[in-house]
Structures are given as C-alpha cells and as structure tokens.
Amino acid sequence: MKQESVSQSTPPASPPPSPPPELSAHRPQDDGHPPALWIFGYGSLVWRPDFAYSDSRVGFVRGYSRRFWQGDTFHRGSDKMPGRVVTLLEDREGCTWGVAYEVQGDQVSEALKYLNIREAVLGGYDTKEVTFYPQDTPDQPLKALAYVATPQNPGYLGPAPEEAIATQILACRGSSGHNLEYLLRLADFMQLCGPQAQDEHLAAIVDAVGTMLPCFCPTEQALALV
Ligand SMILES: N[C@@H](CCC(=O)N[C@@H](CS)C(=O)NCC(=O)O)C(=O)O
C-alpha cells in the first residue's frame, strides 16, 4: 500500500518535532536526509494517514491496549459534544493491531510537521517509541513512533461503559466526519487483519452501537450518518 500524494489539509503552524534519537539511529541516510522512520497508526491513521510514505506494514504492538478514552472536539466532535477517539493504554497483556508507515528523506519532516498539527496540536497526543511486530515477519520487529493521548492531556476522558461510549459516538460529528464512521472504519480494518487480531473493547462498542442504532434513528438516517 503506497501513497505518493499527501494532504495539505492542515498547513504547518510550527517547526515539526524531530524524531527521538533512538528512532533515528537505526537507518542512517548517507544523502544528507534525516534517517528513515516508521510511524505506527492504530486509529484514524490506519485508514487516513494523509502523509506521503514509502512503505507500510500491517502488524501489532505488545504491552498496549486500544481504548476509546480520548475526547475529540475537532475531528469527530465539537466543544459542546466531544467525540471519542482511540489512544493506547499501557497493559502488560495487551496487543494492539494497526499499520506502520515508513517515511524516508523529505517525507520524514513533512510527515512529522503534518502529524504535529493533526495529532498533537489538534488532538492532544504525544509521541512515544513503540516496538512494532509486522504480521508477516514478527521475528523482525521495528522501532516506531506512535502518537498516544495520555491521561494528563486536557482532552482525555478515560474509561466509561462501552454502552455509554457507543451513545457518545452515535451523537457526535466533527470536521473530519461522524464519530460513527471513525468507529466502523477501525472495525473494518480489524476484520481485514483476520481472526488472530482481536479487540474486545472495540467489538463491544460496535455491538452496543448495533443494538442502539435502530432506536437512535431509522435505518435510512443511520446510513446517512457515515
Ligand atoms: N494516534 C492514533 C489515533 C489518531 C487519531 O485518531 N487522531 C485523531 C485526532 S483527535 C485524528 O487524526 N482524527 C482524524 C479523523 O478522525 O479522520 C493513531 O495512530 O491512529
């Protein structure tokens, strides 16, 4: 999966953060460009990276679970009705599936500049180094940069019953679309990963949405939500 075009939907406002040194040392470039970098996506980055990359891998990170515990007042919600998007929770038994994207040369600064706005400035996410295991070569793990919303960020909502999360998702939309689209696109990705990729939290929210949707609005309106 290669994407050469890159969206300029959010003009860079400030110089991008440079990747953590430990992530750069592994692939020194001899052409004066910054070293190649892998970026791990586990939420909207899975289906909408919107930056140019040279390669991508489906796989997982260990020691983290994905949770719809981050509030979002821009992309999938508003100040009055914040949506819910995902973050990573440290969990010794956890395993989170997603996509790692390799950026090289000019792509590195362009990706970091873009993600700094989309994830950090607009989303409240911080960067964190993770170890990524490609589905096809889990014996050859990669160091990658992930964007994680910690409990200290102002948009953090924390745990809630899956039914309550589903209700919030059904009621919210933002500048990138309805919160239900965000949930269903992530669920679609997990389906594509195959039976070995399980996410009980995500599945429980999708089930709760399926139960509530008919009561929430008639079918034709439900289809118009996404
Ligand atoms: N950092 C996670 C989550 C990213 C995420 O969903 N961030 C929100 C920011 S609040 C976003 O970019 N949303 C864009 C969209 O909803 O299409 C990832 O690697 O995918």
- The SS3 of residue 166 is helix
Q: Which pLDDT belongs to residue 191? A: 94
Q: Which pLDDT belongs to residue 17? A: 56
**156 CA → ligand 1 middle, Å:** 14
Q: Which two tokens stand for residue 163?
A: 């039914």
Ligand 1 atom 19 nearest Cα: 41
Q: Which pLDDT belongs to residue 206? A: 97
**176 CA → ligand 1 middle, Å:** 10
Over the stretch 24-48, which tens digit does the pLDDT of each residue have? Answer: 544 455 566 677 899 999 999 999 9
Among 75, 115, 121, 186, the mutation site with the greatest number of ligand 1 atoms within 8 A of its Cβ is 75
* Complex-level ipTM: 0.95
Q: In angstroms, how far apart are the furthest CA atoms of the chain?
A: 60
Sign of the dihedral through C-alpha 38, 48, 173, 223: negative
Q: Tell me the C-alpha distance between 132 and 90, whole Å.
A: 15
**Nearest alpha-carbon partner for 62 in 146, 158, 150, 160:** 146
200 is catalytic: no
Strands 142-148, 37-41: pairing kind: parallel
